[in-house]
Amino acid sequence: MAVSSVLLICYSPVLVDGKSIIVCSHCGPVKAVNFEPAGHSFHKTALKLSGFYEEEGVEGDNETGSSDEKPQGGFMPSEFYSNKRKKKSGSEQDHYALIGLAHLRFLATEEQIRKSYREMALKYHPDKQAAILLAEVSEEAKEAKKEEIETHFKSIQEAYGVLTDPVKKRIYDSTDEFDDEIPTDCAPQDFYKVFGPVFMRNARWSVNKPIPLIGEETTPMAEVDAFYNFWYGFKSWREFPHADEYDIEDADSRDHKRWMERQNAKLGEKARKEEYARIRTLVDNAYKKDPRIQMRKDELKAEKQRRKDAKRMAKKLEEEEAQRIAEEEKCRKEEENKKAAQAALVQKRLKEKEKKLLRKERTRLRTLASPVVSKKLANVTENDIETICMSFDIDRLRTLCSEAEKKEGVDRAEVLEDAIRSHNKSNKSSEDLGLKLNGGGSYGNSEVKKHMEDPLSSYAKKEEKPWSKEEIEMLRKGMNKYLKGTSRRWEVISEYIGTGRTVEEILKATKTVLLKKPDSSKAFDSFLEKRKPGPSISSPLTSRLESEGVSIDGGSAAASSSSSENSSERNPAQNEGPTTNADPDAWSLMEERALVQALKTFPKETNQRWERVAASVPNKTMNQCKKKFTLMKESFRKKKNAA
């Protein structure tokens, strides 16, 4: 039936400051708060919360009694007060209901427990129940009632002892009735209604205080992250006494007791792991269904997509810009090529025009000179006229033709003769200058021309160079390193030797040089050649006497004469007079041409490049070639900068 006010199960006026509050409990949410529950279930719940219970049957000596008979005195047997999860060694009982704190349960303070225990102890003390015993008719009923009263009072004392001991109270509260259900799914709009009470219910086990709230839609994300960080690092004080645990008090010995403790510890650890897994599952489910987290994920995803789009757009713009620049460069080159082609065409037309004018002037000169040649005036021949036509440019031809037109007969012949004489004179002076530069007539010109055509031709017909010991050793090592089956084996060995040996020379050496046996008679000579010379120590006296030109044994003149004779015998070329290459850094034209051709023949990637270049340039070492190459580069750069 409908009532104006509803008395909730968790309502109690016995709280701090006498103010009535509503406390969350283990029961489910109250539905239809405008209606009061009724029926047998409500009646039994009300009796249980009030400390009374309607006994359904009497065991023991009162088994023959009626099932509808209610206990007198308004108290219940201790067998009723049971725990749902913990199996006690004795009778199971509800300690909070026995002392009248069923509405508070684990929220009850120590002072409230002590005060309620005093009230219940005074109310259910056996001395206070004497009137109930007198109401019984038979002696057997009196004895049964007395035993029941004493058992109930002992249960109250036991409940007080458990609830006043912090360790026992924590164990009892851990095994109290509790809803371990975890929601798995819910609508986004019902998230706070579904998961909020579950977190509040499980917050009772937290060691850390205070406990953050789940919040609402407008809660800042910092608080939301703090909430989930707290629950992901949740620490519980909940105990897990197992039904199969061993009672340490029943141990026969110390070892038996330790074994029981280890077994109980294993069971407790397993239960704690299951509890933490349950809490973790709760937090994971809430994190997945939290609309605030989903909103942040969507924002991060949108931001990531936005950055990706921006990056792709920037790349696209960059490609378009590069394409535009390439097209502009292409158009510019096409325009330049077009202008160059037009300029070349104009130049070509000008040259053709000049050629036409030149042919016209030559024809004109031949026409003017034909009477002179036919009459053989002033010894002017047809060959002389052709020479002038092919040697003079258009201006000189035009001037000559203009002067010849003004003259007639002998005068015209004299004009032509003067032109021929001046032309021959200029040719002779140019030839004399060429002879002076080349230093020796046609022979020098032919030699220079021949060397310019092929600067290495003088070395192509050289005799085969003998193999040195180092080359033979390198050939052996190369054949051992690059065995049969190596691709391009002999070319690789030629590069490995690095002295410019051709494949034909290497093949010939493998059949001749490598097959020769070493001469044992010259073994000591080769040893002396390979041995390093020992350091010579000169005394100050020796160096002083030698500097003065006096020998130690008094034979300076003989020693000097003998040394001069020996030196003259060793180096007869030095006594013959100065050579053409007195300055080693001086380079002739042939040597420069040979150096340039060798640099082209052996590029930078060539193995032992400078050794090969030095071998190709006569009378020059590798360092001289490098020095000359550096000077040539500097000269080229200076000319380029000056231009």
pLDDT of residue 568: 41
CA atoms within 13 A on the CB side of 498: 13
Lowest mean pLDDT among 37-41, 81-85, 193-197, 408-412: 81-85
Closest Cα to residue 71, out of 37, 47, 100, 104? 47
Per the document, the length of the chain is 643
Residue 9 clears pLDDT 90, i.e. is over it: no
Lowest mean pLDDT among 155-169, 265-279, 332-346, 525-539: 525-539
Rounded to whole angstroms, the Cα distance separating 41 from 328 reads 93
Query: pLDDT tier at 531 (50, 70, 90 boundaries)?
Result: low
Provide DSSP, 268-330: HHHHHHHHHHHHHHHHHHHHHH-HHHHHHHHHHHHHHHHHHHHHHHHHHHHHHHHHHHHHHHH
pLDDT of residue 523: 59
Instruction: Taking residues 249-269, report their average pLDDT.
Output: 88
pLDDT tens for each residue of 221-258: 999 999 999 999 999 888 887 656 788 888 889 999 99
Instruction: Taking residues 350-359, report their average pLDDT.
Output: 88
The amino acid present at 53, given as its one-letter code, is Y
- Collect all residues with Cβ–Cβ distance below 8 Å to 105 and sequence separation of at least 6: 25, 26, 96, 173, 176
pLDDT of residue 309: 94
Lowest mean pLDDT among 132-141, 204-213, 227-236: 132-141
pLDDT of residue 142: 84
Closest Cα to residue 369, out of 352, 386, 390? 386
Under 8 Å between Cβ of 290 and 224: yes
Domains of the chain: 95-175 (1.10.287.110), 188-289 (no CATH), 298-429 (no CATH), 482-517 (no CATH), 595-641 (1.10.10.60)
Rounded to whole angstroms, the Cα distance separating 617 from 573 reads 22
pLDDT tens for each residue of 557-602: 333 343 344 434 444 334 333 334 456 678 888 888 888 888 888 8
Helices (H), 24-138: 40-50, 95-98, 110-123, 130-135
The amino acid present at 11, given as its one-letter code, is Y
Instruction: Taking residues 266-275, report their average pLDDT.
Output: 87
Rounded to the nearest integer, the mean pLDDT of the chain is 74
Segment (H or E) for 21: strand 21-22
Residue 301 clears pLDDT 90, i.e. is over it: yes
Q: What are phi and psi of 83, to 5 degrees?
A: -105, 145
- b/e for 319-357, b at 16 or more Cβ within 10 A? eeeeeeeeeeeeeeeeeeeeeeeeeeeeeeeeeeeeeee
Q: What percent of the chain has pLDDT over 90?
A: 15
Lowest mean pLDDT among 41-50, 216-225, 366-375: 41-50
Residue 4 clears pLDDT 50, i.e. is over it: no
pLDDT of residue 361: 86
